[in-house]
Amino acid sequence: MRKGAMLVGYARVSKADHQDTATQVRALRKAAGAASITVVNRDPTRGSELAATSIGLFPHVEGRLDLDLDSLRPGLVVADVIPNPPRTQLIRDAEARGCIVLDGLGMLVNQGAVSIRHWTGIDPETEVMRRKLEKIFGV
């Protein structure tokens, strides 16, 4: 199991959705093989309220998260759910520092797969979907 993971841009946790949020964090921790998750706020002016933003989303692809890059250390898992472009500045910064990265294509593929399953009853091949998106985005 890896020592830790970093989740950026996670939505605010309210009492109503606490159970669902906890389930999602556990699932991410399991997927990343991490012993712990560190949640980083994309908007430092909001204090302890965590907000998902569009930093780095097309067409503003050079947008940067206000993050101390020295906090990115080898082996840390960094997730950014921006799907376009899949290789955000955060992902590139994290890779350059030896982090393990999870890009936004995984979220996009899985959201699509759930929708296809919901509307058609068909279980799509997510690997095929991922490869097609990688081709479209040139990654």
**Architecture of domain 5-102 in this structure:** 3-Layer(aba) Sandwich (3.40)
Q: How does residue 47 score in pLDDT terms, banded at 50, 70 and 90?
A: very low
Burial class (CB in 10 A: 0-12, 13-18, 19+), 139: exposed
CATH 3.40.50.720 placement within the chain: 5-102
Q: What is the pLDDT of residue 113?
A: 92
* CA–CA distances in Å: residue 73 to residues 62, 94, 96, 104: 22, 8, 10, 21
Span 95-110, mean pLDDT? 89
The overall pTM is greater than 0.75:
no
- Residues 128 and 132: their CA atoms lie apart, in Å, by 6
Q: What is the pLDDT of residue 40?
A: 56
Read out DSSP for 7-71? EESPPPP-TTTHHHHHHHHHHHHHHHTBS-EEEE-S-GGGTT------TT-TT-TT------GGG
- Residues 30 and 12: their CA atoms lie apart, in Å, by 21
Q: How does residue 124 score in pLDDT terms, banded at 50, 70 and 90?
A: very high
The SS3 call for residue 111 is helix
